[in-house]
Amino acid sequence: MIPVDLPDLPRRAWLAVTIERQDLAGTEAFAVTVHEGFNRSPRRRWFPDRALALCHAADQADAAGLPLFDRTLCEEAAG
C-alpha cells in the first residue's frame, strides 16, 4: 500500500468524533470529543488508555453516523 500524506487537521469543530492525547494534571489521558452539530455543544469523555478511547469513539461515530479522526496517529507519525 502506498502511504498518502494528509494535511494537518485544524483544531475546530468538525462534525465528527475525535480522539486526542492530552495531559491531564500531569498524567497522559485520551479525550474523545463528539461534535454532532454546530448548534449543539460538543461532548467529551476521558480515558486512561488509547484502546478504551478508541472503542468508545468507534461506538459514538457508528451510532451518530459521523467520521472518526484519531489525532493520536498524527502525533505518533510526527514524533
Is residue 9 one of the residues assigned to a domain? no
Spatial separation of the C-alpha atoms in residues 14 and 4, rounded to whole Å: 21
Instruction: Please report, for the chain, how many H helices and E strands are present, in that order.
Output: 2, 4
Residue 65 lies in a domain: yes
Q: Can you list the positions of beta strands (E) in the chain?
A: 17-24, 27-34, 43-47, 68-70
**pLDDT value of position 70:** 93
What is the reported pLDDT for 39?
Answer: 81
- The whole-number pLDDT of residue 48 equals 96
Give residue 65's pLDDT: 94
Number of domain units in the chain: 1
- pLDDT tens over the chain, length 79 residues: 677 676 666 666 578 999 999 998 999 999 999 998 878 888 999 999 999 999 999 999 999 999 999 988 766 555 5
Domain that holds residue 58: 17-73
In a domain, 4, yes or no: no
Query: Does a structural domain hold residue 11?
Result: no
